[in-house]
Chains A and B, each alone.
Chain A
Amino acid sequence: MLLDQDSAGDKWRIRPDGKEKVTGKLRYLTDMTFPNMLYGRVLRSDYPHARIISIDTLKAKALEGVVSVITHEDIPGLNGFGISNPDQPVFCFDFVRYEGDAIAAVAATTPEIAEEALHLIEVEYDKLPIIDSAEKALLPTAPKLHSNGNILHETDYCRGNTEAVLGKCVCVIEETYETPRQMHTYLETEGGIFVPEKDGRLTVYAPTQHGYKDRMQLGRILGVPDERIRVISSPIGGSFGGKDELNVQPYGALLSLSCGKPVKIHYSRWESVKAGLKRHPMKITMKTGVDANGKVLAHEVTILSDTGAYSTLGGPVLNFATEHAIGPYQIPNVVVKGKAVFTNNGVSGEFRGFGGNQVIFALEGQIDRLAEKLHIDPWELRRRNLRNLNDLGPLGQRVYPTNGAFEVWEAIQRSPLWEKSKQDLESSDRWIQRGIGFSMAMHGSGLGFGIPDPAGGILRLNNKGKIEVAFGHEEFGQGLLGTLEILLLDHFNCEKEDIHIVIGDTDLVPPSGSSTASRTTNMVWQALNRLKPQFLSALYEKVENETGVNRKDLKTGSGGIWTYKNGKKVRVMTYGEVAKLGIEDLEFSTKFHYPVTPDPVMGGHYLYTCTSVAAEVEVNVLTGTVKVVAIDHTVAAGPVINPMGYLGQIEGGSIMALGFTLSEDAVMESSEYITLNLDTYVIPTILDVPRSQSVDAIEKLPDGDPFGPRGVGEVGSVALAPAIVAAVKNATGTWITKLPINKEKLICDLPYLNNEKKVGITHDSGR
């Protein structure tokens, strides 16, 4: 189904949070203020790598208006954070390992005084040699950034015998691909406000993708039981994985407790760039061999991932990349060896696509290059290697049956770009060359084998007579509230006035796991399916006891519970009337786990979504500018619950991938960022994107599928880069191996500049 307003019908709904957003009334957490609030600032390192000799805060403390200056000495609990491994110091005391490392924090009565106080903190350093690339981290002479050395995590997956088989292949492609340090660039920079309450508890208003996880991490730092902390974490001005890890929270929390007053911190973009997470830059080498029929026989992969100074999720990202380097293809002989290494280059962490984007760019590039060499249509080559319904997953693990790969392979051929790609693309401007490219991907959702991935929710009638759900998930723009509203209206046939949705507040919601890994839609769908029967039967029993109408004849509906009397629909009780009878017995909760493969393959996924993408480009061969003029997507992710949200995720994820391919790179020189703001870190503007993208949603799931809608938060961002690169190849004859595409390099590599015959300009020669 091509997703749009027409095909969606009445499921195309104005978002519940819409009006507040378009009128500017919505208070984001960084917009909040409290009486007597102080302003917090964090002192960052002067160097990407140094030993700290001394820290002197006396002068800063003496400045009028400064209320508190804190360092590592003022941390009651653990001086560390990190979702998977808390090795990032809240405040450094012996070494600094990246230029965003925090050394002290200040709370003052105005932002100006806080800023001035930072300048008065005296830190003496002994500069150390830096590791500014992943390769350098592995040199025997490299300084050790952590006690265990510079390797955070290694993966090593092997089946068959690639070495022997590659020798016998009729064609082998070996290529190295490089991907950029992409920045999330949420428009709302990190921030929050931290309020010590009269009862001794602390309320944290700060965006995150997992309130309970923040609470746990903060409890550990503050040395207090988790229950003493309340985390309010929605609404959020964008996250994309970037706010899942702690950012301002430790500083705001510690400062506010030390002052006994509310403290607000809101990073400038500059501080956000310096301190915040980025996508892991990876260098991926693939050696892939085929037989004469185009059957891929062997695939060797090495991945070198620059994880920056601290762990956060660098290990799981590498696991994900390892799994996705094999893709939807059935390959008998495979070796994937990955290394995530520590450097002084900022901190890399979670980012939409989670390591898939990088390796899918490489893998699809391999397939296209093999097709070119074999003179087989690249799409046909894919078909010959695609997985079938019941095949094992990429790492040999059992996965829930999926035919998605074949379905998206087929469906993209309905895109108008497919037909167009078979024709010669003429251009009216002699400097513009046009091309169309295709790619596909399979993307795992959930956290994967071996990682706790709990879910849960509550459904109740609240005391105001509303059907209420509570989930520990977050709204960062993706449309969770809209999805929940649609699900509830669907289940209970009621009006939006009859429901109430609670999210993003650890005092009010149950633990539901993180809002990451494309898992949320699936988790809330499953939770409601579990809760609904119990809730309805308790509700109907109560109404029957009160009114005598047989429970079998009751149905929830607009404003209350209805029945048919003499063929006429009548309301038996309003929800409010039921609530007055008592609500204690009308609350139900559920806890369960994200579906996981039964096979013990660390990080291996069980549920997959698939996508294929077509992209058309115009390359200006005078300037090297690549303009993407059309993008069509197909996505196989099960039923569409929230069409506006689904479409938005694919459109938005796709343009994020367009930036990854064409313009985005947080450039570092000697481990220091030189792209400090949005003037030099360039995300796509409205002029850089196609005016529309089509999204063909394939809703069919294998018969008897119990898991329902898969999430689509990431899948739109994983497969566009290789499609653009294939289109550029078809336009110019040049293969790109490094992203973002460098304009100078692109024109210098143009075949005709080197007096070679231009190849690949017509589509046929490329496929």
Chain B
Amino acid sequence: MIQEDKFMLVEEKIQYVLNFTLNGEEISIAVHPSRRLVDIIRTDLDLTGTKISCEIGRCGACMVLIDGIPHNSCLTMAYQCEGKEIESIEGIGKNKLDPIQQCFLEEGAFQCGYCTPGMIVSLKGLLNQNKSPNYDEIEQSLAGNLCRCTGYGGINRVIKRLSK
């Protein structure tokens, strides 16, 4: 037990400097290599558009794009982000709302909004890879994003529009 504690303490002291870009901005930050990306974004950088809800990769509230592809930031560690281009919700529609965001607004695709950044990031990730996805493909891309409020009604209306 005591051994383990000591080991933990040594481990805690390991820091390294993580370099990556977040929403186009270069970030250099001293962190433990196993610090979760969600904590770096939410706590260390105070960007709270990325949400946290299950912390086990099940809900999608923490979704970010890593090199354009959706990832659960609660399951991503600092060292895995080295040199990557990361985009959080704050990077989407920075100057002008993204069409996905506009669709969410018009279709009533959110209520409490807590799942919304994750949903939008997932869709953005899909559209990065596939310019004209069909309904099934869009629906699949949201299979890892839970919403408790809407029953996915408005989200399905968004899919309908995006798959047109």
Contact = CB atoms under 8 A, between A and B. Distances in A.
A725 interface: no
A230 B115 CA distance: 28
Interface in A705-759: none
Contacts, number: 175
A384 interface: no
A545 interface: no
Contact of B50 (A24, A644, A656, A689): A24
A651 B51 CA distance: 24
Interface stretch (B14-22, B56-64, B75-83): B56-64
A703 to B, nearest CB: 32
A356 B56 CA distance: 33
A454 interface: no
Interface string A572-610: 000000000000000000000000000000000000000
A693 B155 CA distance: 12
B120 A22 contact: yes
Contacts of B55: 268-269, 677
A238 B156 contact: no
A17 B142 contact: no
Given A188-B114, A477-B112, A686 B105 contact: no
Contacts of B56: 269, 677-679
Contacts of B92: 23
Contact of A477 (B113, B145, B157): B113
B2 interface: no
Interface in A443-485: 476-479
Given A237-B112, A683-B146, A24 B97 contact: no
A198 interface: no
B114 A679 contact: no
14 contacts: A5-B107, A19-B105, A27-B48, A187-B61, A187-B115, A187-B147, A189-B53, A235-B113, A652-B111, A652-B149, A685-B144, A692-B153, A693-B151, A693-B153
Given A679-B56, A686-B143, A188 B112 contact: yes
Contacts of B54: 269, 677-679
Given A477-B149, A686-B156, A23 B48 contact: no
Interface of B: 12, 42, 46-51, 53-56, 58-59, 61, 88-90, 92-93, 97, 101, 104-108, 110-117, 120, 135, 139-140, 142-157, 159
A15 interface: yes
A21 B105 CA distance: 9
Contacts of B89: 23-24
Interface residues of A, number: 59
B105 to A, nearest CB: 5
The 9 closest A-B CB pairs, nearest first, are: A24-B49, A477-B112, A655-B151, A21-B113, A651-B153, A24-B89, A477-B111, A237-B114, A31-B48
Given A24-B50, A188-B112, A269-B54, 5 more contacts: A5-B107, A14-B106, A22-B105, A22-B110, A187-B114
A24 B153 contact: no
A593 B58 CA distance: 43
A644 B108 contact: yes
Interface of A: 5, 12, 14-15, 17-28, 31, 33, 112, 184-189, 235-238, 240, 268-269, 476-479, 644-645, 647-648, 651-656, 658, 677-679, 683-687, 689, 691-693
B132 to A, nearest CB: 19
B153 A22 contact: no
A679 to B, nearest CB: 5
Nearest to A657: B151
A692 B113 contact: no
Given A21-B110, A24-B90, A654 B148 contact: no
A388 to B, nearest CB: 33
A653 B148 contact: no
B105 A17 contact: no
Nearest to A688: B152
Contacts of B155: 686
A17 B113 contact: yes
A483 to B, nearest CB: 12
A415 B160 CA distance: 22
Contacts of A678: 53-54, 56, 58-59, 146
A23 B90 contact: yes
Contacts of A18: 104-105, 110
Contact of B148 (A12, A21, A185, A677): A185
A667 to B, nearest CB: 16
Nearest to A479: B111
A686 B142 contact: yes
B22 to A, nearest CB: 13
B154 A648 contact: yes
Given A24-B89, A677-B54, A693-B151, A187 B48 contact: no
A476 B112 contact: yes
A21 B101 CA distance: 9
A225 B49 CA distance: 36
B121 to A, nearest CB: 9
Nearest to B90: A24
Contacts of A679: 54, 56, 58
